[in-house]
Amino acid sequence: MVRWAGWWLEFPRSLRLVALVRGCAAVGAGGILFLGPLVFHREGFGSLQIGLALALASGGGLLARGLSGLALDRGAPLALPMRVAALLSIAGDLLLFHAHHWPPFGLGEFFLGLAMGAYWPAADLAVAQLSAPLPSSEGFALARSADALGVCLGALLGCGLAAALGPQALRLIYAVDISGMLLLLLLVRRLPRHGSPAVRSGPPLAAGRAWIMPLLPLLLLALLGSGIISLQQSALPLDMAQGGLARPGLTEAGPGLLIGLQLGLLLLMQWPVGHWLASKPVRLGLRLSLLAFAAGCGLLALSALLSNGLLLLLAAQPLLALASAAFLPSIAEAVVETAAPEHQGLALGLYSQTWALSGIALPPLAGWLLEQQRHGLGLWLLMGGLCLPALALTHQKAEPRARNY
C-alpha cells in the first residue's frame, strides 16, 4: 500500500486531480456503454433500434465535441465543459432509468451523447496542459489507466447488481452514473482554469487551416480504432447474446462477464503498456494496436463457426484489451504532438468527433448485419481486415520521446 501511495504521489497534483475526475466519469460510463444495450435488448428492442439510438447519441456528441473544443481554444475554463457534461449526463440517466418506449430511450441516449461530446475534449486537453513537468505522453498513460479502472469498476458493479438482484437490476447502472457525475461536479471545482500548453517537438506548423492537414491520417486511424471499440460496446454484447452460426447464445449475465474480463485485462495492461509506449514513437503504439485489433476481430469472427466458440471469444479478450491499451494513449498523444498549442483544443475536438462519427455509422450498420445474418462473422471479418491496410497510415516521422523527469 505504501508503495502504491508513493507511486501515486510522484505525479503532479493537478494531474492526479484530472485522473480522479476521469476515473469518476468512467465508473458510470463502464456500466452504460457496455451494459446499456443489454438493458434495452431485454426490454424487447431490436438490434437495429438499439443501434439507431446509439447513433443518435453519437450525433449529439458530434455537435458537442466541436463546440467544446472551439470554446476551449477561445479561453473557456477546463472545468466548464465538464460541468455541462455532468448535468447533461444526469438528465439522460433519469430518462433512461424509466424508459420503456422509443421516445424516452432515444432522447436519453441523445443527452448522453451530448454529455460525452462536451466532456472528452476538455478531459484530454486537461491531461495535455496539466502533466508538466512530466511529458504529456506519461500523463495520457495515467489518465487512460484511470479511465480503465473506472470503466472496469462500473461494468463489474453492473454485472454484480444483475447477479445479486436479477437481470432487471441492470437499470441501476444509470443510478451509478448519476452518483459519479455528482462526485465529478465536486472535483472539477478544484481544477485550474487553464494549464500550460503541451510542448511540441518538431517544426512549427504553417498558419491558417494548413495545421489540419497533418492530422488527417491520425483522424482516419481514430475513426477505425474508435469504431472497433464502439462495436465492442454495442454490437459485441448483442452478438454474444444472439449466438453465431454454431456458437449458442449466452444469457444476459454471460456477455457482461466476458466484457468484464476484457475490461479487467485492460485495467491490468493499461499502465504498463501506456508507460512503456510513452518513451517510444507514437507510430509504434498505433501499429501495435492495429495488429492486436485485427487478431482479436479475427477470433471473434471465427467463434461464430464453432459450437465451442466461447473459447475463441475468451481468447480474443486479451488481444482486444492490448489493442485498446496501446491505441487510446497513443492516438491522443499523437494529436497533441501534431497540433500547434493554440489549436490543441479544436484538434482534440476533431479527434473526439471521430468517436462520434464511428458511433453514428457503425452501430446501426452492425445492428442491421446482426439482424440479417444472425451472426457476427461478416462484421468482425470486415473490421479486422480494415486494420491491415491502415498500417500504412502510421508511417510518421517521429522520434522517441525523451522523459523530462
What are the φ and ψ backbone dihedral angles of 246, each rounded to 5 degrees?
A: -120, -25
> How many domains does the chain fold into?
1
Burial (CB count <10 Å: 0-12, 13-18, 19+), residue 78: buried
207, part of any domain: no
In a domain, 3, yes or no: no
**Cell digits of residue 380:** 468482425
Instruction: Report the pLDDT value the prediction gives residue 403, as an integer from 0 to 100.
Output: 38
CA distance 65 to 193: 19
pLDDT tens track for 333-373:
999 888 887 788 888 888 988 887 887 788 788 888 888 87
> Is 204 inside any structural domain?
no
In a domain, 198, yes or no: no
Q: Is residue 402 part of a domain?
A: no
- pLDDT recorded at residue 300: 93
Report if residue 401 sits inside a domain.
Answer: no
Q: Is residue 48 part of a domain?
A: yes
pTM of the model as a whole: 0.81
Rounded CA gap, 252 and 151, in Å?
Answer: 19
Neighbours of 351 (CB within 10 A): 28
Task: Find the domain containing 165 and state its range.
Answer: 9-193+212-394
Residue 121 to residue 117: CA distance in whole angstroms: 8
Between CA 8 and CA 192, with CA 140 as vertex, the angle to 5 degrees is 75
Determine the pLDDT at residue 404: 36
What is the CATH classification number for the domain harbouring 289? 1.20.1250.20
- In the prediction, which pLDDT does 356 show? 79
Is 153 among the domain residues? yes
Q: Which residues contact 275 (CB under 8 A, 6 or more apart)?
A: 138, 141
Q: Report d(CA 159, CA 258) in Å as an integer.
A: 10
Q: What is the pLDDT of residue 401?
A: 42
Q: How does 325-338 read in b/e, with b if 16+ C-beta sit within 10 Å?
A: bbbbbbbbbbbbbb
Q: What pLDDT does residue 130 have?
A: 92
Report the C-alpha dihedral over residues 201, 391, 218, 276, rounded to 10 degrees: -50
- Strand ranges, E, within 228-319: none
pLDDT of residue 202: 41
Q: Tell me what pLDDT residue 398 has.
A: 42
How confident is the model at residue 197, as a pLDDT?
A: 57
User: Cell digits for 57?
Assistant: 447519441
Least Cα distance to 311 among 372, 360, 258, 355 occurs for 258
The stretches in the chain having pLDDT less than 50 are: 199-207, 397-405
